[in-house]
Each structure stands twice: as C-alpha cells, then as structure tokens.
Amino acid sequence: MASIEIANAVKSYGAVDVLHGIDLDIQDGEFIVLVGPSGCGKSTLLRMIAGLEDITSGDISIGGTIVNELQPKDRDIAMVFQSYALYPHMSVAENMSYALTLRKTAKEKITDAITNVADILGLSALLERRPKALSGGQRQRVAMGRAIVRKPQAFLFDEPLSNLDARLREQMRSEIRKLHRRLGATSVYVTHDQIEAMTMADRIVAMHDGIIQQVGTPIEIYDRPANIFVASFIGSPAMTFLEGTYEIAANGNAGVRIADGALIPVLPAQGATANQAVTLGARPEHIGIVGDDKGGIPARVDLIEPMGLSTLVHVSLAGNPVKIFTLDRPDFAADSIIHITFDMEKIHVFDTKTQLRLPPQSEPHTAKTA
C-alpha cells in the first residue's frame, strides 16, 4: 500500500493541453473517485499514474518515489480496464496468475493466492474456462481478480462497471467497496457515473476540461459544491438553476430576484453585493410545494414523474424548468398552477460570472475550490 502524490501534472498532445496542472494527494488506503464528463481527462490522468502515458510536465510519486520515468511494470500498480482486457488465449486461472508467474513466484504460493481470490470473487468453478466462455459480469470479476491477486501498491480502475447492466453494476459497486474495506488498498477509480462516485468514494475528485474543480468527501461535494459545474454534475435528479440578481434589504435579509420578478429568500452570501448577477441553485429535495395561500411562488406544472418511492414534479418558473422531489403522491393536472417554496438554508447562490459558489456568511471557509 502506498500514497500517491500528483504535483502540477500537465499532459499535452502536441499543442493541445488535455490536463492543466493537476495537484492531488491521495492518502495511503484511500478510495478516490475521479469523476467528470466524457473527455475531461480522467482516463489520461489514471494512465499517467499507471505509466501508460508520458507526463508532459510535473511529478507523480507513488509511496514517496517519483515514478515519472518508471515503466508500468516497475510501478507495482494493478489496473482494471473498462474492456477488462483479459488475455483471450489464457484460462481464468492463467489470466489471474500471469503477473505472479512473471515475478517468478513459487508455484504453491500462486495456487494459494488464486484459490483464495477465486473464493472471494466466486470464480472457483470457472478457473479452467477461457474468457470467451464467460458472461460480462464474470469477465469483470476475473479482471478484478487479476488485479487483487498481485497485492499491488495501488489499484487503478477505469470505468470498470460501465459495460454491465444496471443491476449487476449496483451489486459490483458494493462488492468493490467491501473488497476495499477488506484489502485497504489505495485505489483510484474513474467513472463518469456520479452515483458510483457518491456511493464508493472516500473522496471525490470532480474534473472538468482537464482541471480539478473540487476535491472532497461525497457529502461535502453534494452539500457544498464549489461551483456551478460541480453542483450540476453531482446529484440525480440534477439541481435546478435560476438566474437573477442578488438583493439585500435594510434589515440584512437577502434574496435573489428572478426573471418574473419573484424574490427567493436566501442566506446572506459571502462577498455578494447588491444587484450582482447571481445564479440560484436548488436541489429537487430542497423545493417544496405549499398551499395556495401559504406565500409560495406560483409555477406551472409540466409533468409528474412517479418513481415509486418518490415523485418528481416538473414545473416551469418564469420560463425555467424546475424539478421538485416529494415523497407525497401529488396528482396535479398538467398546466395547473401550484405554489412552491425554497429551503433557504439549503439552496446555493453562485456568482454568475465566475460560476463560483458564494457560501452563506454563517459557513466557515472550508470548501476547497480549484
């Protein structure tokens, strides 16, 4: 096991910069999830840690040693690929033992390790099969097994679950977490699925366009997103955004005035000035539906989406789509007018120009920003 330090790592392909100075310290034994939209450079960063991609500038260290010039084989890391990359001409057992064989590990030790790992992953009956005779989920397990058997310094995962169906993905998600708890190995896990990020990570690294937007625990990222990108990327159903201007009354109460003139009260925000262009961000569960005489803001119902446990109500507010999460079973007719309120303790104010979150004055300066 080892820590991984990435210091000002840059990657360019010719004139194109793909990663712009990445700084990231990964603790020994930590499970880090790199998340971001397609093309933001997650795989590139992971492959730089693995040694499959040259580092244009900056340093990457594993266990305190700078590995910039080391070949992948000398970095003592294991990687699980999205395509699984099993050796098609080898049996499951041979696939899993290949790395150990290359290291000239004693036969009995290899057999022990394989039996043990096959037990953990439920592969014992399949050891003699070739990969082509396995289902997708089984292949995925073999790929995991191949990584685990080696007991490497760190595990790297590049979207290992994205080829599985939803149910299997859910199951593997918790299995990988359990494995991590059991092995305690430093892990870097790439995904563009924010649910995987939320459920699996010790810390999430949210990336966009080759820049780290925010690093934090899942709850930090969810409750205190550093900017509009992170706020919109994390959370499903996604956060609603309303543009408006910041207003502050003589008594110190603050609010955001949106396009149709309605004023949505907010906590006074750090560094916000009167009439500043701001964007209000509200998660579906922080918007409520109130009786017509309770002072809510009128909105027009677009669509009701029952999801079993909960219901998602889509409304338009001053021309903006707004999603509302409720555990009730509302049955509003389409186009009817309902009244909604925002939970001022929970909603966010972002500077429209810089896209950064303006935290409430009551919040200590903790949220890390890029």
Partner 1 sequence: MNLSGNSPTQKAIYWGSHYLMIAAFVVFALFPLYWLLKVSVTPNDILYTEGVRMWPSRTTWENYTFVLTQSNFPHYFMNSVIVAGTTAIVTTMVAAVTGYSFSRFAFRGKVIIVALMLITQMFPLVMLIAPIFKILAPLGLTDSLTGLIIVYTAFNVPFATFLMQSFFDGIPKDLEEAAMIDGNTRFQAFRRIILPLTLPGVAATLGFVFTAAWSELLFALMLVSSDAASTFPVGLLSFVSKFSVDFGQMMAAGVLALIPACAFFLLIQRYLVQGLTAGAVKG
Ligand X SMILES: Nc1ncnc2c1ncn2[C@@H]1O[C@H](COP(=O)(O)OP(=O)(O)OP(=O)(O)O)[C@@H](O)[C@H]1O
Binding site for partner 1 (CB under 8 A): 50-52, 71-73, 77-79, 81, 83, 85-89, 98-99, 102-103, 146, 150
**Given strand 16-26, what is the order of strands in its sheet?**
16-26, 4-13, 57-62, 65-66
Check if the beta carbon of residue 337 is closer than 8 Å to that of residue 299. Answer: yes
Q: Which is nearer to ligand X, 53 or 351 (CB)?
A: 53
- Per the listing, tokens 């009167």 go with 274
Do the strands 186-191 and 154-158 form a parallel or antiparallel pair, or are they unpaired?
Answer: parallel
Distance in angstroms (rounded) separating the CA atoms of residues 100 and 32: 26
Report in angstroms how near the CB of residue 99 gets to Mg ion at its nearest.
Answer: 23
CB of 269: closest distance to partner 1 in angstroms?
A: 47
* Alpha carbon distance 13, 5 (integer Å): 23
* DSSP element (H, E) containing 220: helix 218-223
Which residue is closest to Mg ion by CB?
43
Burial 141-164 (b: 16+ CB within 10 A, else e): bbbbbbbbbbebbbbbbbbbbeeb
Within 34-93, the residues that bind ligand X by CB under 6 A are 36, 38-44
- Number of residues in contact with ligand X, rule: CB under 6 A? 12
Q: Which of 139, 146, 169, 192 binds ligand X (CB under 6 A)?
A: 192
Footprint of Mg ion on this chain (CB under 5 A)?
43
**Of partner 1, ligand X, Mg ion, none, which one sits near residue 192, judging by CB under 5 to 8 A according to partner kind?**
ligand X
Q: Is 187 in the site for ligand X (CB under 6 A)?
A: no
Q: Is the Cα dihedral 254, 257, 263, 266 positive or negative?
A: negative
Nearer to partner 1, 51 or 255 (CB): 51
CB of 193 to ligand X, least distance (A): 10
Choose the one of Mg ion, partner 1, ligand X, none that binds residue 284, judging by a C-beta under 5 to 8 angstroms depending on kind: none
Instruction: Please give the C-alpha separations between residue 26 and each of 7, 53, 229, 261, in angstroms, as whole numbers.
Output: 11, 19, 23, 47
Question: In whole angstroms, how close is the CB of 38 to ligand X at the nearest point?
Answer: 3
What's at 248, amino acid-wise? I
325 binds, among partner 1, ligand X, Mg ion, none (CB under 5 to 8 A by kind): none
State the minimum distance, in angstroms, from the CB of residue 67 to Mg ion: 21
CB of 42 closer than 8 Å to CB of 192: yes
**Binding partner selected for residue 38 from Mg ion, ligand X, partner 1, none, CB under the kind-specific 5 to 8 Å limit:** ligand X
**Gap between the Cα atoms of 327 and 312, Å rounded:** 9
- Per-position x/- string for 5-44, each x denoting binding to ligand X as judged by CB under 6 A, each - no binding: --------x--x-x-----------------x-xxxxxxx
Interface ranges with ligand X (CB under 6 A): 13, 16, 18, 36, 38-44, 192
